[in-house]
Amino acid sequence: MPARRTALAGSLAWGAAMGASALMSLLFVHWETLALVRSVVVLFAVGGALAFPLACTIARMVSRGRNRQTAFAAALVSFTAVTIGLTALIYALQYRRYYAEWHAEPFTVTWTLQLVFTGLVALYQFAVLGIRLYFPLGMAALFAVALWFARRSR
């Protein structure tokens, strides 16, 4: 795990960068209302903030004792996968919460199927509609954090 100060500062910065990326993308296409834009930006910021310490730890474990190029690649892959994965998970949980009103009684076979397929649909929807919000600002932040990680690892 990164030091507490690094984890806190990194989480705040990475969360802010992911939220800013979503905000820039949504404002550029004049998307919906400002309230909906705000909720999506918060979703991406929270996903990014939660992802930073975990992604940093994974990248450190993968690149330990190796050169800077390996550290850079490990950071690119881990920050990408963990940030998208945690943000998609948070989105899926919100999606499930919305549709839970129309689902069957908990812990039945029907409820289990509804839970699984609602989660899968949410993840698919995030993959199709959500990942594009990381471009172009999120990609720039990804390269910046990977460079920071590679320099810091030596």
> Considering the chain, what percentage of its residues have pLDDT values greater than 90?
84
Cα–Cα distance for residue pair 42/36, rounded to 1 Å: 10
On the question of pLDDT at 154 being above 70, the answer is: no
pLDDT of residue 93: 95
Instruction: Identify the H or E element spanning 114.
Output: helix 109-125
pLDDT band per the 50, 70, 90 thresholds, residue 33: confident
**pLDDT at position 12, please?**
97
pLDDT band at 70 (very low <50, low <70, confident <90, very high): very high
- Predicted pLDDT of residue 31: 80
Percent of the chain with pLDDT over 70: 99
Structure tokens of 94? 């919100």
Cα distance between residue 38 and residue 75, in whole Å? 28
Give 133's pLDDT tier (boundaries 50, 70, 90). very high
Rounded to whole angstroms, how far apart are CA atoms 31 and 23?
A: 10
Measured at the alpha carbon of residue 136, what is the angle toward residues 61 and 48, in degrees to the nearest 5? 45
Judge whether residue 100 has pLDDT over 70: yes
Residue 2 reports pLDDT greater than 80: no
Q: Which of 46-55, 57-66, 76-85 has the lowest mean pLDDT?
A: 57-66
pTM, to two decimals: 0.92
Q: How confident is the model at residue 41 (pLDDT cuts 50, 70, 90)?
A: very high
